[in-house]
A and B are shown apart, each in its own frame.
Chain A
Amino acid sequence: MFRQARFNEPLILEMGQNGRIGSNIEECELDINGIPRELLRSDLNLPEVSEVEVVRHFTRLSQMNWGVDLGPYPLGSCTMKYNPRLNEELAWLDEVQLIHPLQEMEGALEIMYKLDIALSSLTGMKRFTLQPAAGANGEFTGCLIMRKYHKDNNQERDEIIVPDSAHGTNPASAAMAGFKVVEIPTGRDGLIDLEILKEAVSSRTAGLMMTNPNTLGIFEKNALEIAEIIHDAGALMYYDGANLQGILGIARPGDLGFDIVHLNLHKTFSTPHGGGGPGSGPVGVKEHLEEYLPIPLVKFNGKGYELEWDRPKSIGKVRGWYGSFPVLVKAYTYLLSMGIEGLRLSCKIAVLNTNYFAKKVSTIRGFSLPFGEVYRKHEVVISAENLAKETGVTALDVAKALLDRGLHPPTIYFPLIVKEALMFEFTDTETKENIDLYISALKEISDIAYSNPSQLKEAPKNTSIGRLDEVFANHPKTMCLSYRMLKKSHASGK
């Protein structure tokens, strides 16, 4: 029986006693007479807690949280695979954490260079920048490259085409780079409709942002034709690497007609998500776009490695310094631990896991597999539309019922084109036993939905807290985004 820890843990700001300290860092005798009084701070409202209280507090908080270390985390398009501890151990070495970006760091540059070579090879690109901080930062980089490329070719192209099944970051990144977003609907087979695409393409099209396999887990088998349509129009093909796991080592974006690729090292390459970062979103391009990559890149000069700054056509920088270096060390470590054969096998197993699950889940009453019986790649979207219609139990209710069984739910209500969507990605590191657990849990939930649906509306009961009031959290009158706001609302009697 699953029971998550449930502490009535106060905010750290509500804990402690006057005079307690968590660090005995030495007090010094600063002569503040030289500092104008009006520049000095008079009060600072921070906790006064001892070290043991800090350790207990954050340990307790951690126990009220789910992670891959606790069990499956099958969020679609998130590739929540196991995060090897070996990666962590090496990334915490002094030679990683205590080096400064302005010092000579031959070892760091060598890792970056070798990662560039490996990622370029795996994706069929010419060269990678490791600078972007996350996937969306990589998309922004790619969009700026498209912008500059067209401008240098005296082309006025201000539109980017994005399928309606795309991740929300695609249209958001394109818009941030100043493009108008042209959304195209998904065809009846779950794929981009070539006729609709042809209509959407024009001399204003800068590029197409595409996720392949798409967010339904289906491979866009017309990839080469799509690329031809886009290239014939003088536009560029952008590959969102969130779903690279589905073709890793079997096919390469570069061979599918893509010009620009971003990867998520915190997905496909096993580095941890850390509750939402730090991630890393390297961007690779084909030869004709290489000169636009951000500065600096790392090059091998025949004797050693150096940063290459003199790149006049570069788009410049998309964040400070050279990238999330500790994350890069973790990804490089993973590549060595897997080898080419291991990476290929990880793709095959991820896809096998998905199809095994898809086959079994589609026989459960209330759930269906939209867009037919075609084999999925690394993820699958099932629909609880029938369940909702027939019992009133929604995808959200199914998710909460899974929580009560100690099973983290899939992504829900995405992609937007599937009603009552449940988007599962078990990844390559999940056991058959756990996938079977999900299947039996979904079967049980379905049985309850058809016999006693109201029971499912009360879930979850076994988590640290029950369902939360989203309206209260977002209403201007009750919204509370910090301890200062909480105190103010108490003071005003709200």
Chain B
Amino acid sequence: MLVEGHPYLPNASSVFKEMLMEVGVESTDEFFRDLPNQSFELCGIPTKPLDEPSVINEVKRILSKNKVYAKSFTGGGPWYHYVPSIIKYLISRGEFLTSYTPYQPEISQGVLQALFEFQSMICELYKMDVANASLYDLPTAIGEAALLSARVTGRRKFVIPAYLPNDRKNVILNYTYPMDIRLVEVPLSKDDGCPDLEYLKTVVDSETSGIYIETPTFFGTINANIKAFVEVAHDAGALAIVGADPLSLGLFRPPGEYDADIAVGDGQPLGIPPGAGGNTLGLMVCRDDPRIIRQLPGRIVGLTRSKDEGRRGYVLALSTREQHIRREKATSNICTNEALLAISAAIYIATMGRKGIARVAKKIMYNTQYVLDRLREFGISPLFKCLHFRDFAINVGDIERVNRALIQNEIMGGRDLEKEFGMAGVSLFAVTELHTKEDIDLFAKILATEGRTKGV
């Protein structure tokens, strides 16, 4: 027993003995008589609590070994986008931060309405009618979409681009193989880094539950022909699942306009800092089709009315899909999701608004064109000769040498696609709305000096 008490443990005080007496036991040991094997040594944790100044010192001492870079040109995500200052304040409010999943709707209208607004604004971005209240991240969202397509169509073959980052591919595989869903990979077209459309047509058939395509792709390329891909899926009775970056939709045509059935994305660009890859937000959106809606994974908030006064209110809807009711027959096992980051994204979209989202997307596009123009002036061109948004792959020759030179200038360098895909000398970069002209000029100059472009 800690005689000195503990700030988080109010009953470590005089009431401790009082309560023991009320229960009629001498000590708490009596509660644990049924536990076997109570003798062991613990390690890795201090024996006594540290006081607050000591905890701050220790955690900061360790974290100070993480270098925070002034600029990043690293592609493939997570990205460094603008984070409005009000977001941290609002999501730190205890009523949001310290609440649970809103099982008691009457006392949880705040979180419910905020999540309904998140769903609604994600729907507007993707121009589709239904969104869930979040999944863990993009990789698991694609995995869930694959399972969803299999449930809707009763088929067991899912088609994906061959060039997805290992994270994504690996998670999709783990979600699908236990359900005996076969993954088929479509090689990429050398022109635009998108899957080869003609090849796709040869593999999509009456066994196919769905196809997954991205725009922009992992390589930042825009799929100019996306409607044709969607049609290939529909002609075979399969679902068309589109991965689209939410910020790109401030400029580019949304999945709802080219008849995608389901859209997925990573919400991290919506005002969420990278957090070592730990601040992820899986988005899932679909058409207003009961066949799909009834099979969606995850929480969904619905609008309803109060029984007494008919006032507008919000509840968790369609919960008969979920694990706490349907158990092994649930559409997914997901319970805790990314609610606070969904609220964070809702605050971001509202703050940026109609104009701001378009401005950010334009600025990213402007910077993408600017960086590619500058590189071209030095005789460096992107791996794919087509329209890019934010991310772009470059054959820099000696990846390590270039990244080292960038780091010397306080700039985080490219993602190594030689290691990831065996693409010799290729790095994946990105620019966002936060890069200045000077940043980009410096970056281009370093690449021109240090890169030994070999030609593709």
A39 to B170, CA, bound (A): 31
Residue among A59, A96, A139 facing the most chain B CB atoms (10 A cut-off): A96
Q: Which of B16, B68, B78, B302 contacts A352 (CB 8 A)?
A: B16
Q: Which of A111-119, A231-239, A384-392, A447-455 contacts the other chain?
A: A111-119
Taking a contact as CB atoms closer than 8 A, the residue among B2, B109, B353 that contacts A341 in the complex is B2
State A53–B168 Cα separation when bound (angstroms). 38
Cβ of B280 within 8 Å of any chain A Cβ, yes or no, is yes
Contact B275 A96 (CB under 8 A): yes
Q: In the complex, are the beta carbons of A111 and B62 less than 8 A apart?
A: yes
Contact A65 B99 (CB under 8 A): yes
Given contacts A172-B333, A320-B138, A336-B59, contact A178 B178 (CB under 8 A): yes
Indicate if the CB atoms of A316 and B173 lie closer than 8 Å. yes
Interface 1/0 per residue, B128-153 and A, CB below 8 Å: 11110110111110000001000000
| 5 tightest Cβ-Cβ pairs between the two chains A and B | A69-B94, A274-B340, A321-B277, A65-B110, A178-B178
Judging by beta carbons under 8 Å apart, are A468 and B306 in contact?
yes
Complexed CA–CA distance, A169 and B168 (Å): 23
Contacts of A326 in B (CB 8 A): 275-276, 278-279
Among listed B188-196, B204-212, B250-258, B438-446, interface-contacting one: B250-258
- Judge whether A187 is part of the interface by a CB distance below 8 angstroms: no
Known interface pairs A277-B134, A352-B23. Does A224 touch B36 (Cβ–Cβ under 8 Å)? yes
Q: A466 and B309 in contact (CB under 8 A), knowing A28-B359, A51-B86? A: yes
Q: Can you list 29 pairs linking A and B with CB atoms under 8 Å apart?
A: A21-B353, A28-B359, A29-B366, A38-B253, A39-B222, A46-B353, A54-B350, A60-B110, A65-B107, A69-B94, A70-B98, A93-B60, A94-B68, A97-B273, A99-B68, A108-B66, A139-B333, A169-B333, A251-B37, A275-B114, A316-B171, A321-B278, A324-B279, A329-B59, A337-B8, A463-B109, A464-B106, A464-B109, A473-B304
Q: How far is the CA of A467 from the CA of B20 in the complex (A)?
A: 39
> Total interface residues on B, using CB and 8 Å?
197
CB-based contact A320/B102 at 8 Å: no
Encode A66-105 as 1/0 by CB contact (under 8 A) with B.
1111100101001011111010111011111111111111
Minimum C-beta distance from B74 to chain A (A): 6
Query: Are A348 and B251 closer than 8 Å at their CB atoms?
Result: no
Say yes or no: A13-B117 contact (C-beta < 8 A), given A321-B167, A481-B130: yes
Whether B11 pairs with A349 at a CB distance below 8 angstroms is yes
Q: Which of B19, B72, B305, B325 contacts A472 (CB 8 A)?
A: B305
> Which residue of B has the minimal Cβ distance to A69?
B94
Q: Which of A22, A70, A73 contacts B353 (CB 8 A)?
A: A22
Q: Which of B18, B254, B324, B352 contacts A25 (CB 8 A)?
A: B352
Residue in B35, B65, B98 whose beta carbon sits within 8 Å of that of A110 in the complex: B65
- Chain A residue numbers with a CB within 8 Å of B104 are 66, 399, 403, 408-409
Closest Cβ of chain A to B405, distance in Å, is 15
Decide yes or no: A273 and B369 within 8 Å by CB, A23-B352, A58-B90, A103-B412 being known contacts.
no
B288 within 8 A of partner (CB): yes
Q: Which of B24, B45, B123, B179 contacts A340 (CB under 8 A)?
A: B45
With beta carbons under 8 angstroms apart, the residue of A34, A81, A276 that contacts B337 is: A276
Residues of B within 8 A of A41 (CB): 249-254
Contact yes or no, A256 B250, CB < 8 A: no
Q: Are B90 and A39 in contact (CB under 8 A)?
A: no
Task: Please name all residues of chain A whose beta carbon is closer than 8 Å to the beta carbon of B88 when the two chains form the complex.
Answer: 92
Q: Does B408 have its Cβ within 8 Å of any Cβ on chain A?
A: no
Beta-carbon contact of B288 and A485 below 8 Å: yes
Chain B CB within 8 A of A177 CB = yes
With contact pairs A134-B337, A431-B11, A467-B307 given, residues A44 and B354 touching in the complex (Cβ less than 8 Å) = yes
Task: Say how far B436's CB is from chain A's closest CB, in angstroms.
Answer: 11
Measured between alpha carbons, how far is A176 from B121 in the docked complex, in Å? 30
Number of A-B contacts (CB under 8 A): 678
The answer to whether A275 and B111 touch across the interface, beta carbons within 8 angstroms, is yes
Which residues of B sit under 8 angstroms from A473, Cβ to Cβ?
A: 302-304, 315, 317
The answer, among B30, B94, B250, B278, for a CB contact under 8 Å with A67, is: B94
Question: Complex: how many Å from CA A463 to CA B131?
Answer: 27
Smallest CB gap from A78: residue in B: B100
CA distance A275 to B97 in the complex (A): 7
B329 (CB) vs chain A CBs: closest residue? A175
Cβ B109 vs Cβ A90 within 8 A: no
B401 in contact (CB, < 8 A): no
Contacting pair A147 B178 (CB below 8 A): yes
Contact of A178 among B99, B179, B249, B274 (CB under 8 A): B179
Quick check: B357 and A465 within 8 Å, CB to CB?
no
Q: Check A108–B276 contact: CB distance below 8 A.
A: yes
Chain B residue nearest to A476 (CB atoms) is: B290
B402 vs chain A, min Cβ distance (A): 14
Q: B453 on the interface (CB 8 Å rule)?
A: no
Task: Chain B residues near A99: list those with CB within 8 A.
Answer: 66-68, 274-276
Are A54 and B47 in contact, CB atoms less than 8 angstroms apart?
Answer: no
B400 in the interface (beta carbon within 8 A): no
Contact with B along A269-297 (1 / 0, CB 8 A): 01011111111010000000000000000
Is A491 an interface position by the 8 A CB rule? no
Partner of A317, one of B35, B97, B167, B339: B167
A223 to B37, CA, bound (A): 11
With A and B bound together, what is the CA distance between A257 and B357 in angstroms? 54
**A472 touching B277 in the complex, CB below 8 Å, given contacts A177-B178, A429-B8, A460-B106:** no
Q: Which residue of B lies closest to A489 (CB)?
A: B303
User: Within the assembled complex, what's the spacing in Å between the Cα atoms of A5 and B180?
Assistant: 51
- Which residues does chain A contribute within 8 Å of B422, judged by CB atoms? none
In addition to A107-B64, A482-B129, 10 A-B residue pairs with Cβ atoms within 8 Å of each other are: A25-B352, A47-B353, A67-B99, A69-B94, A176-B332, A274-B97, A274-B339, A277-B338, A321-B277, A481-B129
User: Which residues on B sit within 8 Å (CB–CB) of A465?
Assistant: 105-106, 109, 306, 311, 313
Is B371 at the interface (CB under 8 A from chain A)? no
- In the assembled complex, the CB of A240 is this many whole angstroms from the nearest CB of chain B, namely 12
Tell me the minimal C-beta distance from B391 to chain A in angstroms. 14
Q: Which of A276, A321, A476, A484 contacts B123 (CB 8 A)?
A: A484
A337 to B138, CA, bound (A): 34
Nearest residue in B to A103 (C-beta to C-beta)? B412
Q: How many Å from the CB of A268 to the closest CB on chain B?
A: 13
CB contacts (< 8 Å) of A400 on chain B: these are: 106
Q: Is the CB of B86 within 8 A of A54?
A: yes
Which of A68, A169, A252, A281 contacts B37, CB < 8 Å? A252
B28 with A351: CB separation less than 8 A: yes
Do A277 and B353 touch (CB < 8 A)?
A: no
Determine the distance from Cα of A318 to Cα of B387 in the docked complex, in whole angstroms. Answer: 32
Is the CB–CB distance between A278 and B359 below 8 Å?
Answer: no
B16, A349: Cβ atoms under 8 Å? yes
Give the CA-CA distance A411 to B24 in the complex, in Å: 27
Asked if A349 and B134 sit within 8 Å, CB to CB, the answer is no
Cβ of B224 within 8 Å of any chain A Cβ, yes or no, is yes
